Chains A and B, each alone.
Chain A
Amino acid sequence: MNTLRDIVIVGGGTAGWMAAGALAKCVGTQQHRITLIESEEIGTVGVGESTIPPIQLFNKLLGIDEDEFVRETNATFKLGIEFVDWRHVGHNYFHNFGLLGADLRTGISFIQYWLRWAQAGGDPDQLRFSAEAEAARLGKFGRTPPSQAGNQPNVNYAFQFDASTYAAYLRRYSERRGVVRKEGKVVNVRQDSETGCIEAVDMADGSGVRGDFFIDCSGFRGLLIEQVYKAGFEDWSQWLPNDRAAAVPAERMADPTPFTLARAREAGWQWRIPLQHRTGNGYVFCSSYISDDEATARLMESLGQSALADPKVLRFKAGRRKAHWVKNVLALGLSSGFLEPLESTSIHLVQAAITKFLDYFPQREPDPILVDRFNDEMRFQYETIRDFIIAHYKVTEREDTEFWRYCKHMNIPDTLAEKIELFMMRGEVKPRWADIFSEVSWFAILYGQGLVPTGHHPLADAMSEDDLELTLSRIRSAIRQRVDGLPSHADFIRSCCAARPVTTAA
C-alpha cells in the first residue's frame, strides 16, 4: 500500500457518523477520501442515549456549538444517574458527575475527610457535598464557566439525546466537510490475496467501493472484523447475564429531569432517559429469568408517560471483540463489543476508540506495533468499565429473585475483588491511570450499593476537629450558593437550546 488515502466506513448509526465526523475534522477530506456506506433497510439500534462528561471533549474536538447540538438532537442535560431499588427495594442513590467536596490540596481526597466526619456521626448523605447531585435533586441546571467559578464549585455534565437525531446531526456535519455517503448494502468483501488486507467491498447494486482502510460499524455481526477476520468474541455473560432489552419511546416528561433513571427490576433494570420531545424507556433483562413478553409487559405497565410506539425487543451479549483492530480494519461500536447501557458508556467507548485511532492513525499500512498497543488500550477500557458495571450487581442486599440471588453470589474478576477489598477498609479503590471512572464515581456506586468503609485515610485525622467542621461547612455553603444561583433545567433549555417544537424528518 502506498499512502493511505481512501477510508471506508461500513455502517452508519451513531458509531459510523461519529467516526466520519472526527475523521473529517482531524484528518480532513483534502488528502483523504472518506466514504460512509449505510443502508436505510438496515435499522440502527438507536434508542435514547445517555452519555458521560468526556463527551464534551468530543464536541470540542469537532468544534461543534453545544447549544446547536442540544437543539438538533432534542437533548437534555445530565448531572448523573439515579439508581432506584438497587441496594434493596425502596432504596435509592445517585451517581453524581463531577467532584465530591473540593480539592483540599493535602494529597488525599475530600472523600477521606468526609468519611472521618461521617464515621464520627456526621450526616451519612455524602451528596450534600456534590453540586451536581444537589442541582439534580432540585431539577436545576446551568453552565458554570471556570472563569466565573470563584469559590463556587463547577457543575460537570453530560447529555441525554436522541441517538437517531445525533447520527443525523453528525451526518450533516460530515457531509458539509466532504464525507461521501453511499446508500446500499454490502454483499461481498474482497481481500488482497497476499496481505489479507481488505481491498474493497461490493455493493448490492453491483458497484464496488475500494479502500485503503475500513472502519467496521456494522453492528453486532461485525461484517469485517468477525465475518472476515474472525477476531473472536470474549463472552462476559457470566458476570453480566443480561442479554435483551425491551425498549419503547413515551411522551415527554412535563419537566425533563437533568439525570437518567435506572431502576432495578426483578430480572434486570429499567432506564428512563428524558429528552426534550419524548422519553426513552427500556427494560434490560436476562432471558433466563424472564420471558420477552413478560419483560415487555413489566415495562409497559411502569411507564410514567403514554407510549408513542410499540415496544421492540433487542438482543445482545455482553463481551468484547478479542481484537478491535485487525490489519486495515478498525471495529467501532457494537462490532467492537457490548456493555449494557447502565453507566452510559457506549458512546464513550466509540469516542475513546476514535481518539486513540487518531493518535495511531496510519500514514501507510498499519504498523503492527501501533495496532497491538491500540488493542491493549481498548481491552483495558472495556475491562475497567465491565468491572464498574459488575459492581452494581455484585454489591447488593437483594436476594428477592433468582436473578438477584445469582448476581449477589456470582464470582467476580480479581481486578474488581481487589478494589472492593480496599474500599471496605478505606473508601478508595485506587483506579489506574487510564481508568475512566474516578474515585468519586466508585465511591458513589460502592457506597450507594451498600458498602460502608470501616476506616479512612489516616492523613484525614491530621486536620483538627474545628478545621474539619469549618472546611465542610464552607464547602457546603459554596455548593448551596452555586445551586441557588442555577436556573431550573427547563428554563435553562428554554433560554438557549430548545429544540424546534415539531420534529421534522431529518
Chain B
Amino acid sequence: MSERVQTVAVVGRDAPVWLAAAAVQRALGRTGVTVRVVEQETRLADVDVYAAVPSIASMHRLLGLDERLILQVCNGVPMVAQRFSNWAKGAPPYFVAYDDEPPPGGDLPFTQYWTKGMLEGLRVGLEEFSLGTACARLNAVPVPPSEPAPLSASYGYHLDAPRYAELAKQLALRLGAQAAPAGLRNVDVEGDRIAGIDLADGTRIAADLYIDASGAEARLIGNLAGAGFEPWSDWLPCDRLLTASAPRLPNLPAFSQISAFKSGWVGLFPLQDRTALVAAYSSGAIGDAEVVELASVISRMPVGGDAVVSELRPGMQQRPWIGNCVAVGQAAIALDPIDALDIHTTHGCISHLMTLFPATAGEFPEADAYNRSIGAFGTNLRDFQAAHYCLNRRFDDPFWDRVRDTAMPPGLKRKVDMFDARALVPLTDEESFYEQGWSGLLLGCGVIPKGYDPRVDGLPDEAHIQKVQDRLRGVAAIARQMPPVEQFLGLDHAVPAQVSGQA
C-alpha cells in the first residue's frame, strides 16, 4: 500500500507559487506535510497590476489575510465592476458587476420580470436594477450587509502586482513553507512523472507531489508525457500585452475601464498611487509603438515610458494533472486578461486541488476528477471572456470581424441561444459566473431576449409594475448608503478616525 503524501514541491513564480504554497502549508502543515518552494525568476514588471474578481476575498479569508492590510500594502482599490466601452460602435458602455445571487428556490430570476417589461416597452436597462452597477456609478463600495439582505453585491480588487506577490511570499514563509536555496536548473522527467528537481546550486529536490505554478510557461506539466495544450486563439485572439503606468486618477473610480479599439482593447485599473494600464491586442494588426500612442489617446492620460510588452497565448492544458504533477493558475488555464480572472483561476485550481488533495502518494486516481473539473472550470471562464470578442459589434475592423465570424464555442453558443430565446442562462458544472453575471454580460453584448418565462404572466400587470419599481428604488437606496471608495479606503481625510476605529 502506498504512503501518504508527505512532501510537496511547488515550482513557479509570482503570486501563484506563493498562494499555492501558502494554501497547502496552512491546511496540511500540521499533519506533517512539508512544502518546498522553488521560485523562478519573476515575470512581473513594476507596472503590473492584478485585477481580481470578488472570489479573491474568500481565498484571503481561507489564508487568513486581512483585507485592510492587503489594500494598504498593495495600494489596492476595490473593484466593484468593469465598464466596457466601444465594444459596439454607437452603443453606450455597459457594466459587468458582481451582484450576489439570491438564495435558490425562491422567486424567478428578476431578469425574467425585466424581460417581460422590456418587451412591453420598459425603457430602463437591466443594469439599472443591479446593485453592483449602481455602486460603480456612484464610485461606492457595496460593503456586506450585517444580516442577510434581499439585495447585495460583492467587490474584488485592483492590486499592485509585485507588492501582492511579495505579500503572498511573506505569508507562505510565515506559515512555514520553505524556500529552496537556489533557482531551478532542470526538471527531471521520467515519462508521465517527475523524478526530481535539480537546483542551480546542485541540490536536488524530490517530492511526493509537484505543483506547477510557473504561469504560461507550464514548466513542469508541459514536459510530461501525455501533456497537450489546447489553444483558444480562435476566440481569444489577442497575442500581445502592453503594460504601463499613468498618473493616479484624482477621484478614484470603483471600477476598471475596458475600452475596445480597432485591434484589441485598453484597460485602466485604478490604484491608490497610480493608474495601471494594460492593452491586449493582436501583434499582426498593430505595432507596440502605435499601441502606446493609442492607449494615451484612449485613456486621455500620459502613458509612461515604463511600458513593458509580453506575449499572450490563451488556452489550456488538456490534462492539468498528470502523474505526480498538478498545474495551477495560468500553467493550467491561460486566459486573456479581460474580466479580471487571473487570480481567480489560480484560486480555483488551488481550491480544487485542496478538495481532491491525494489521500496517498502513488497512483493518484484523483487526477481524472481534477482534470474534469478544471476542464469545465477553464472552459466556462473562456466562454465568458469569448463572449466579449465573439459578440462584438465593431463592424469593418478586420480584427473584430474575424472573431465575430468565427463559430462560437459550443457552451457559449448554448448560453447565447437560450438567453436570446428565453432570457435563460443554462448553467453547468464549475461555473464562476451565475445568472446575473451572465445576463449582464450578454445584454451588454447586445443579446436581447425574445421571450421570457410564462410564469411571469401569473403576476397581474399592476403587481408587475410595482415589483419593477420597488427593485429600482431599492437598488438606488441601498447604493446611496454605501461608502465612496476614498472613504472606504480611509483616504477621506475628513473622517480619518472612523476608519481606523473599525480596524
Q: A residues touching B (Cβ–Cβ < 8 Å)?
A: 26-28, 31, 57, 107-108, 358-363, 367, 369-370, 373, 418, 421-422, 425-426, 430, 432-434, 454-459, 461-462
Contact = CB atoms under 8 A, between A and B. Distances in A.
B28 interface: yes
B429 A57 contact: no
Interface stretch (B77-85, B330-338, B453-461): B453-461
A459 B366 CA distance: 15
Contact of A458 (B1, B351, B357, B424): B357
B105 interface: yes
Nearest to A421: B365
A361 B421 contact: no
B418 A458 contact: no
Nearest to A362: B454
B359 interface: yes
A425 B359 contact: yes
B480 interface: no
B355 A108 contact: yes
B451 interface: yes
Given A426-B359, A430-B369, A458 B426 contact: no
B355 A454 contact: no
Given A57-B105, A107-B354, A425-B360, A459 B27 contact: yes
Nearest to A454: B1
A458 B365 contact: no
B355 A107 contact: yes
B406 interface: no
B30 interface: yes
A430 B422 CA distance: 32
Nearest to B418: A369
B4 interface: yes
B417 A369 contact: yes
A418 B452 CA distance: 39
B146 interface: no
Contacts of A359: 424, 453
Please give me the 5 A-B residue pairs with the lowest Cβ-Cβ distance, nearest first. Answer: A455-B359, A461-B31, A426-B359, A433-B429, A369-B417
Contact of A422 (B30, B31, B366, B422): B366
B473 interface: no
Interface residues of B, number: 40
Contacts of B360: 425, 454-455
A458 B422 contact: no
Contacts of B357: 457-459
30 contacts: A27-B455, A28-B458, A31-B457, A107-B351, A359-B424, A359-B453, A360-B422, A367-B421, A367-B422, A369-B417, A369-B421, A370-B418, A370-B424, A373-B414, A418-B369, A421-B365, A422-B365, A425-B360, A426-B366, A430-B356, A430-B373, A433-B429, A434-B429, A455-B360, A457-B357, A458-B4, A458-B28, A459-B354, A459-B357, A462-B30
Nearest to B416: A369
Interface string B20-41: 0000000110110100000000
B310 interface: no
Nearest to B457: A31
A297 B429 CA distance: 48
Contacts of B454: 27, 361-363
A425 B5 CA distance: 13
A28 B452 CA distance: 17
Nearest to A108: B355
Contacts of A422: 365-366, 368-369
Nearest to B6: A458
B428 interface: yes
A418 B354 contact: no
Contacts of A108: 355
A362 B105 CA distance: 21
A458 B359 contact: yes
B358 interface: yes
A26 B458 contact: yes
Contacts of A28: 458
A361 B454 CA distance: 7
Given A454-B1, A457-B357, A457-B359, 14 more contacts: A107-B355, A359-B424, A360-B424, A361-B454, A363-B452, A363-B454, A367-B421, A369-B421, A422-B368, A425-B360, A426-B359, A434-B429, A456-B359, A458-B357
A107 B428 CA distance: 21
Given A57-B105, A457-B357, A370 B365 contact: no
Interface in B395-439: 414, 417-418, 421-422, 424, 426, 428-430
B422 A425 contact: no
A370 B422 contact: yes
A455 B27 CA distance: 18
A26 B351 CA distance: 40
Contacts of A57: 105
A421 B369 CA distance: 11
A419 to B, nearest CB: 9
A456 B5 CA distance: 12
A467 to B, nearest CB: 11
Given A26-B458, A108-B355, A458 B368 contact: no
Contact of A433 (B1, B428, B455): B428
Nearest to A460: B31
Contacts of B365: 421-422, 425
A433 B62 CA distance: 23
A379 to B, nearest CB: 14
Nearest to B364: A425
Contacts of A373: 414, 418, 426
Contacts of A31: 457
A433 B458 CA distance: 30
Contacts of A360: 422, 424
Contacts of B1: 454
A27 B351 CA distance: 42
A418 B368 contact: yes
Nearest to B451: A363
Contact of B33 (A27, A362, A369, A458): A458
Contacts of A455: 4, 359-360
A119 to B, nearest CB: 11
A362 B365 CA distance: 44
Contacts of A462: 27-28, 30-31
Contacts of A421: 365
Nearest to A423: B365
A447 to B, nearest CB: 16
A462 B458 CA distance: 52
B324 to A, nearest CB: 15
